[in-house]
Every structure is written in C-alpha cells, then in structure tokens.
C-alpha cells in the first residue's frame, strides 16, 4: 500500500464539479484568500473557480494529470467547497462526491482499509 495521500494521484473532483462560493472568500475581500484572478463571476454574490463553470471541467488551479500526479496549486488558499469535499473514508465517513468523481475517470472508490486506524486499536496492533 502506498503511503502517499490518495488525492495526490487523483485530482478527479477538481475536474468534475463546478466550484462556486461567495465572493468574500476571494482576496477582493479584506479577509478572503482565494486569488480572485482565478475566479469568474457566477451571480451577484458568488464566483466560480475558472475552468469549473461549465463544459469540459478542469479547475484552473489544478496542477498535473488527473489520475496520475494531480495537486491543487493554491492548496492553502483553496475555497470552502474544496475544503468540505473529503476523500472517502479519510475521517471514517463515505464521500459520494469523491466516489462519483473518481468513477468518472475510471478509478475505483477509496476504501476504508486505505486509511490508518486511529485510536487505541492502532497502538495495540502497531
């Protein structure tokens, strides 16, 4: 089993869904951090990451190749929808969006066995 985080060889969700959020998350707002030049207007209150609005979706901040070596170019400054989309089973819960995105690129869903066991069991079993 690889020790690399599975998202680093995936990136499917960044090339599958529209990423829309309130404009105040962008650096056009004093407390925003998402680079506004990487966004486009969606409606009077929301923006979308460029490349995710419609059509052949691929976020403009995505680096690398989906299914091989993908990663977010603005990871520390990514918007809330990206922070909220969790890899399946990383925290012990299913993630239908993760499963759906991976399936669209021919990748199997992540399994619970992929993640290290936390808690007392981990200490006992080493």
- Interacting residue ranges for ligand SF4, rule: CB under 6 A: 6-7, 10-14, 19, 49, 59, 61-62, 72, 74, 78, 82, 85, 87, 98, 101-102, 110
CB of 3 to ligand SF4, least distance (A): 15
The secondary element (H helix, E strand) that includes residue 80 is helix 80-84
Considering beta carbons, is residue 100 or 121 the nearer one to ligand SF4?
A: 100
CB 34 within 8 A of CB 74: yes
CA-to-CA separations, 31 to 19, 24, 88, 94, 106, in angstroms, rounded: 19, 7, 30, 32, 39
Three-class SS state of 72 = strand
Shortest Å, Cβ 125 to ligand SF4: 25
76 vs 123 by CB, closer to ligand SF4 = 76
């Amino acid at each position: 089993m690889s020790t690399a985080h599975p998202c680093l060889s995936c990136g499917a969700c960044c090339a599958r869904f529209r990423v829309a959020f309130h404009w105040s998350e962008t650096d056009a707002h004093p407390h925003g951090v998402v680079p506004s030049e990487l966004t486009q207007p969606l409606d009077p209150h929301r923006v979308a990451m460029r490349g995710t609005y419609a059509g052949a979706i691929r976020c403009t901040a995505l680096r690398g190749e989906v299914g091989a070596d993908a990663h977010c170019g603005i990871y520390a400054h990514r918007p809330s929808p990206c922070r909220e989309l969790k890899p399946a089973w990383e925290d012990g819960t299913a993630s239908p969006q993760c499963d759906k995105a991976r399936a669209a690129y021919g990748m199997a869903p992540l399994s619970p066995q992929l993640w290290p066991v936390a808690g007392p069991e981990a200490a006992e079993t080493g």
